[in-house]
Amino acid sequence: MTRIVLTLAAIAAVIVLALALRPAARHHLQFVVTSDAHYGITRPTFRGRQRVDAHIVNAALVAALNTVPGLQFPLDGGLGAGRPVGAMDFVVETGDVTNRQENNGGQTIQNAAASWAQFVTDYLEGLRLTGPTGERVPLFIVPGNHEASNAIGFYRTMSPATDVTPLVEIFNRMMAPPKPRTIATFDYQADRVFFTRDFAGIHFVFLHVWPDSAMRARLERDLQSVDRSTPVILFAHDQPDVEAKHFINPNGAHDVNATDRFENLLADELADGTSIDAPTTIEQGQFETFLAQHPNITAYFHGNSNWHHAYEWNGPHNSVRLHVFRVDSPMKGEVSSLDETKLSFEVVTIDPAQRTMTVRECLWNTNPAAPATPVAWGDAVTVTLEPRPGSASAPPAR
């Protein structure tokens, strides 16, 4: 009898192992988020080398991204825990693909067109992630403040003074206009990037820099055709508590100048003051009001100020609860620029039926002396994508 019990126990163990090793169920939607590639600058150190070009660092990040489907999720209680990761559905880059083409502390940054070409090589050609039926997954890109400044000019000297190449490329690739824009025809004020995609009953919205009045107007029109029960997830470059300097200069000629140092990237003149050190309470409040009117906008991913960070944004009047995920940068991470073992991107898993989402930190350079070391799992957070109730006090799912 003992031998039979042992045999049954062994069979049970095999079954448990087989269940754990099943690919992630395809009712789970999966994607990767990264940000702030900043082609044109160097990292102080990377894998034993000094002043390492962004082309090298980002190529290493892409190589790590390509290994993700072969990893196994940790037993962290999140969606898909213990299972192989399996296929992805898409990848997102939340802006600042290129660095401003300026003289930065004595280092002259290459022009934006050259930086864009390197991004094409590493990401658009180098990514090998595939979807559930073997197709190559799309890469979705939103512009950052550096793309915008390269296009319209900056208060410090750039060479050339402007280069709209990356914005033209992003606009044409992401929005597929009937008449593609060219360097000669691109209009920064009119040709702002705004596009949407639907996957597994989730509505994804990709915005130009930050949800200012122009983006909110586009989003308002878009949401008229989206059921109010459908979860909506936003991707933008700037964090919800946007920086004053990205607004239109409220002073004098409202131009970009070295005295005021406003960058004129967004559609609105700053209403909170006359200095780039002013708060953005009014502007954030306008976004908060918009969110209150659209409770199915439940999550937001961004770069700009870069480290892996999952947090709740309530707005200056504390009337909403938005699940926000800040993404690290391979070149300018707040933490990872000083400690390269903290370099990360995010892998996101969504269960559309249960309307839950797990965002996992993926540490892709934990052993700089051994680049082949597998990607390691860091922090994991699971939230609900259900439309917000009337109260901002409803806790996220855990």
Say if 12 falls within a structural domain. Answer: no
The pLDDT value recorded for residue 105 is 63
Averaged pLDDT, 107-136: 95
Contacts 24+ apart (CB under 8 A), 105-110: 107/41, 107/42, 108/159, 109/40, 109/41, 110/39, 110/40
Query: How many domains are there within the chain?
Result: 1
Alpha-carbon distances, residue 343 vs 31, 223, 339 (angstroms): 18, 35, 8
Say if 76 falls within a structural domain. Answer: yes
The pLDDT value recorded for residue 106 is 65
* Rounded percentage of the chain residues whose pLDDT exceeds 90: 89
The pLDDT value recorded for residue 92 is 98
Q: Which domain holds residue 146?
A: 27-242+280-384
Say if 216 falls within a structural domain. Answer: yes
Say if 7 falls within a structural domain. Answer: no
Say if 8 falls within a structural domain. Answer: no
What residues contact 257, with CB distance under 8 A and at least 6 apart? Answer: 155, 249
Which tokens in the block code for residue 259?
């005295």
Whether residue 23 is predicted with pLDDT greater than 80 in this model: the reply is: no
pLDDT: which is higher, 304 or 25: 304
The pLDDT value recorded for residue 1 is 42
Whether residue 4 is predicted with pLDDT greater than 90 in this model: the reply is: no
Is residue 239 within 8 A of residue 304, CB to CB? The reply is yes
Q: What pLDDT digit, counting tens, does each position of 41-66 carry?
A: 999 999 999 999 999 999 999 999 99
Say if 43 falls within a structural domain. Answer: yes
- Give which of 287, 196, 195, 202 is closest to 240, Cα–Cα: 287
Q: How many CB atoms lie within 10 A of CB 318?
A: 10
- Count, residues in the chain: 398
3-state secondary structure of 162: coil
Whether residue 5 is predicted with pLDDT greater than 70 in this model: the reply is: no
Which tokens in the block code for residue 228?
């109010």
Is residue 383 within 8 A of residue 60, CB to CB? The reply is no
Say if 32 falls within a structural domain. Answer: yes
What b-and-e string marks burial along 344-355, b requiring 16 or more CB atoms within 10 Å of the CB? Answer: bbbbbbbbbeeb
User: Can you point out the beta strands (E) in 54-191?
Assistant: 90-93, 103-104, 107-108, 139-141
Side chain identity, residue 1 = M
Say if 331 falls within a structural domain. Answer: yes
DSSP secondary structure letter of residue 265: -
CATH number of the CATH domain containing 334 = 3.60.21.10
The rounded distance, in Å, linking the Cα atoms of 17 and 308 is 32
The pLDDT value recorded for residue 396 is 40
